[in-house]
Copies of this chain bind each other. A is one copy, B any other.
Amino acid sequence: MKTVNLADKLTQFDSHWDPHVVADYNDNDVMVVKFQGAFPYHLHETTDDFFLVLEGEMMMDLDGGDSHTIKTGELFVVPKGVTHRPRAEKECKVLLIEPKGEPNTGDTATATSKPRI
C-alpha cells in the first residue's frame, strides 16, 4: 500500500500508446499512458474502457463519425462493444483503467505489454 504520484510515474517513460501499470484496483490495471497521433480503431468486446485526461487534450473518435473532446480533468468511458479511436494532436497524458489481461487494442495479436512502474 502506497501513494502513487501520477506525474512522477509519467516521467519514467517517453513512448506513446504504451500504457504502464501503476496500481491495481480489484481485477483491473490502473495505468498511465501518453497519447500522440491517432490509435487504430478497435473495440473491447467484454469491457468498458476508462480514460481520464491528466494533462493535455485528446479526442475520442467513435464509429459512425461522432468525436468527443476530452481535456485535463475530464473523463470519458467507452462502453464495451463500441468501436473507438483515441487521438491527440499534441502529447496528452491519460489515466487508463482496463481489466487485467485486456489487450490495449482489443486484440491479443496486436496488443502491447503493460509494464509495471
Contacts and interface: CB of A to CB of B under 8 A. Distances in A.
Tallying the copies of this chain within the complex gives 2
Nearest to A6: B73
Contacts of A111: none
A75 B7 contact: no
Q: Interface majority SS on A: helix, strand, loop or mixed? A: strand
B6 A75 contact: yes
Interface residues of A, number: 37
B4 A76 contact: yes
A82 B2 CA distance: 13
Interface of A: 1-7, 22-26, 30, 47-48, 50, 52, 54, 60, 62, 66, 68-71, 73-80, 82, 95, 97, 99
